[in-house]
Amino acid sequence: MTEAKPVAVGVEASAIVSELRGLGVDHVICIPDSYQKTLIAALRDDPSIRFITACTEDEAMGINAGLYMGGKNPMLVIQNNGIFASINTIKAIPLDARIPTFVFVGQYQRDPMVPIEESRSRAVRMVEPTLDVWGVPHWRLEGPDDIGNIRAAYERAHETMGPAALIVGAPTL
Amino acid sequence: MERNEAIEILAEGRGDAVSVVTMQSVYPWHQAGQGEIFHVDASQCMGSASSIGLGLAVARPDKKVMVLDGDGSLLMQLGSLVTIAGQSPANLYHFVFANGLHQSTGNQPLPAIGQFDWVALAKGAGYADALRIEAAEDLLERLPGIFAMTGPVLIELTIEREDREPLWAGVPMAKQTALLKEQLAASS
Kindly identify which residue of chain A lies nearest to residue B172, measuring between CA atoms.
A97
Residues of B in contact with A70 (CB under 8 A): 55-56, 58-60, 181, 184
Q: Is 0.90 surpassed by the pTM of this model?
A: yes
Average pLDDT over residues B10-27: 96
Domain spanning A13-168: which CATH class is it, in words? Answer: alpha beta
3-state helix, strand, coil in chain A (%, to 5): 45, 15, 35
CA nearest to B71, candidates B53, B93, B95: B95
Contact criterion met (CB < 8 Å) for A58 and B51: yes
Q: Could you read off the pLDDT of B88-122 as tens digits, one per residue?
A: 999 999 999 999 999 888 889 999 988 999 999 99
Q: Which domains are present in chain B? A: 3-186 (3.40.50.970)
CB B59 within 8 A of CB A70: yes
Residue A92, chain B, CB below 8 Å: the answer is: yes
Residues of A in contact with B181 (CB under 8 A): 68-71
Q: Is the pLDDT of residue A2 over 70?
A: no
Q: Which of B44, B178, B184 sits opposite A92 (nearest CB)?
A: B44
Contact criterion met (CB < 8 Å) for B177 and A99: yes
- Domain positions in chain A are 13-168
Return the pLDDT at B145.
98
Contact criterion met (CB < 8 Å) for A60 and B52: no
Average confidence score pLDDT of chain A: 97
* Inter-CA distances, A28 with A54, B43, B58, Å: 10, 24, 12
Length of chain A counted residue by residue: 173
Q: Is the pLDDT of residue B77 over 80?
A: yes
Return the pLDDT at A1.
58
Q: How far is A99 from chain B (nearest CA, A)?
A: 8
